Homo-oligomer: A and B are copies of this chain.
Amino acid sequence: MKEIFAGGAPPAPAALAAKVRTLAPSMTRSMQRVAEAVAGDPAGTAALTVTGLAELTGTSEATVVRTARLLGYPGYRDLRLALAGLAAQQQSGRAPAVTADIAVDDPIADVVAKLAYDEQQTLADTAAALDTVQLGAAVSALASARRVEVYGVAASGLVAQDLVQKLLRIGQVAHAHSDPHLAVTNAVTLRAKDVAIAITHSGSTGDVIEPLRVAFEHGATTVAITGRPDGLVSQYADHILTTSTARESELRPAAMSSRTSQLLVVDCLFVGVAQRTYETAAPALAASYEALAHRHSPRGGTGR
């Protein structure tokens, strides 16, 4: 007997479709075929043996096993078990109903419904796939950080600012950087006890990786929030938080769902830190709320 059960990484409950999407880009062609079959028909796949699935996808047993490994399972046997579970869930639960893409001539009401549904899906996927161990580690680092620097450009830059705004509210020293040069300049000044966070969906945004690398080499604790955990950015990250990737279409750029996903992660970080530092966080939150009250006109209902 080997591999009792628990350990560092739980295989994956039902966030399989999400995981497939997240990892698909880093897969080779044949592995993608396997992953596609698995994600497309969990129930059917669960009924197949390695050999059967290999034949179905026109690949070999080895490839199937490799795919299972990549998805986080010890082997095909375990993937199959998870698949059976997923199938059962789908069976009992309401039909997941694949949402149609947004078309150019969709009425506005459909657009609202589809976007809302997609973002909900993204949230569910992200939550399911989020590694709570990594998250916990990142929270610990932040809670005891002397100073926090967050790097992100474009859409991820806004997420970085969002995190910083939140951290500032609970009395943490935090800054966001979207200027690559200034970011590197800033990273050089970091030491142990400081935390650097890089946010990049692609995992390969040079402008963000560079400052993280510098911070890493200067001994700071580094965290990466990325949709591609196999990306270059992970090389310099002590803790990796994976965001999920949703399908995108012409009218629905990837930035949309990655942002939703990143914000959820950021919120989790924030709440985690607020919990750990409750003694100081709670009064700080109250104080910042109080300080802003007078900037709102008296009118407009106070109630609630």
Contacts and interface: CB of A to CB of B under 8 A. Distances in A.
Interface in A95-113: 102, 104-106, 108-109, 111-113
Contacts of A116: 123-124, 126-127, 264
A87 B46 CA distance: 15
A268 B116 CA distance: 9
Contacts of A173: none
Given A25-B300, A230-B301, A47 B5 contact: yes
A12 to B, nearest CB: 11
A233 B300 CA distance: 9
A210 to B, nearest CB: 10
A52 interface: yes
Interface string A261-291: 0011001100110110010001001000100
Contacts of A165: 154-155, 158
A233 to B, nearest CB: 8
Contacts of A52: 1
A275 B89 contact: no
For the complex, would chain A's binding face be called helix, strand, loop or mixed by DSSP majority?
A: helix
Most buried by B among A106, A263, A298: A263
A210 B80 CA distance: 49
Interface of A: 1, 5, 13-14, 25-27, 46-47, 52, 80-82, 84-89, 91-93, 102, 104-106, 108-109, 111-113, 115-116, 119-120, 123-124, 126-127, 130, 132, 135-136, 139, 154-155, 158, 161-162, 165-166, 169, 202-207, 209, 228, 230-233, 250-253, 255-256, 259-260, 263-264, 267-268, 271-272, 274-275, 278, 282, 285, 289, 292, 295-301, 304
25 contacts: A25-B301, A46-B81, A84-B85, A86-B88, A92-B93, A111-B275, A112-B127, A116-B123, A116-B124, A120-B123, A154-B292, A155-B165, A158-B162, A162-B259, A204-B297, A204-B300, A206-B295, A207-B295, A228-B301, A231-B300, A232-B299, A251-B271, A252-B271, A259-B263, A260-B260
